[in-house]
Every structure is written in C-alpha cells, then in structure tokens.
Amino acid sequence: MSRFFATLLMITLGTNACLASEGDDQANSFAQIYASLCMKNLPNLEALREKLRPIPSLPPEKAALILAGNPGDAWSVPDKYGTFVLALPSGKNFCAVHARRASTETAIKLFTGMVANPPSPFISTLVKNEQTQSPANGQIQTLSYEWSVPSATRKMLFTLTTATSESAQLQVLGSAAIINQ
C-alpha cells in the first residue's frame, strides 16, 4: 500500500508543470499536501502527529476554529502557492487539509483522480456527490469516496468539499477518515 502512495505522490507532483493559473497551482499544492499528509498517513495518524510534534502548531484559539471546537491540533502548512492548514482531531482516525483559495474545478479533478481508482485489493465507491447553493459561498460541492476490501469491518472515507465564491472562508476542504461499517 505504501508503494501506491509513493506512486500517487509522484503523479501528483508531476502534474505541477502542467497547471498554469494561480488557482490551478493552489489546487495542485492542496492535492500534494492532502496526498502526502492525510492519505499516506491515514493508517497511522498518531505517527504523523509524532513527526509533527517539533513543529509549532496553531495557537489553541485558531486551532479551535479549524477543529470545530473539538480537541486536537492544527498546523499551518507552508507553501509558495497558498495558505493551507492540516487538522488532526485528538482520538479520531481523521485528517483534514484546508485551502483558503484554490481552483475548485482543478481540486475536484485532482481529488477524483487520486481516490476513484485505488490500488488493489481496494474497491472505490462513490458514496456522495452533492451540490448546493449558498449566498455566501457560491456553489458548494461535496464528493465522498469509500475504499474497502471484501469482508473488512473498516473502510477509508475520502471527502472533498469545495466552495466557488471568492469570498468563501475556505474554497477547498479535504478529509480522510477510517470508519467502521
């Protein structure tokens, strides 16, 4: 499985040269961060938390906004193309990456490319494709894919939510979680 994530990261990194606009660059950075932090480390998020321990996390008042009031930690992820934040709630098999600005169309394309065709023996199932309209955030789209293997009691759930409005607080939010069936 780790070979898949290494391949996935190489493919994602390789697409950087093909994307021209600032929004596309931001979406590409988001996809790289999401793949290398959340997807790659989903089987052991506590190990990721340990790797991040020497890096200063966001102050509790800022982290609380990202974590929706739940206990946990959040880190700013430096990138030349935008502002990204990694969130790891305590005691949960859940990881999220927030992007303030990014091309939502490109983010959806990259996300779908990463999660729609998993490595064997996983099976990918689209479980949600929902679009709504919001006065403050524009068109909001949520996509969720589950990865599972036959007879397993746990699944991996990958979710992307995008908001098209330039005034949205966040334009792209990606999460990865391990859930029980």
140-150 burial, b for 16+ CB within 10 Å, e for fewer? bbebbbbbbee
Instruction: Render pLDDT for 15-71 as a digit per residue (tens, 0 to 9).
Output: 444 445 999 999 999 999 999 999 999 999 999 999 999 999 999 999 998 998 899
For residues 1 and 38, which has the higher predicted lDDT (pLDDT)? Answer: 38
Q: Fill in the amino acid letter for 137.
A: N
Dist CA 131 CA 33 (whole Å):
25
Dist CA 177 CA 92 (whole Å):
8
Residue 102's closest CA among 76, 79, 83?
83
Using the structure block, give the residue that is written with the tokens 């309209």: 133
User: What pLDDT was estimated at residue 100?
Assistant: 94
Instruction: Render pLDDT for 63-97 as a digit per residue (tens, 0 to 9).
Output: 998 998 899 999 999 899 988 999 999 989 999 99
Cis peptide before 121 (omega within 30 of 0): yes
User: What pLDDT was estimated at residue 20?
Assistant: 57
Instruction: Render pLDDT for 99-132 as a digit per residue (tens, 0 to 9).
Output: 999 999 999 999 999 999 999 999 999 999 999 9
Dist CA 152 CA 6 (whole Å):
24
Residue 24's closest CA among 165, 137, 172, 175?
172
Q: What is the pTM of this model?
A: 0.87
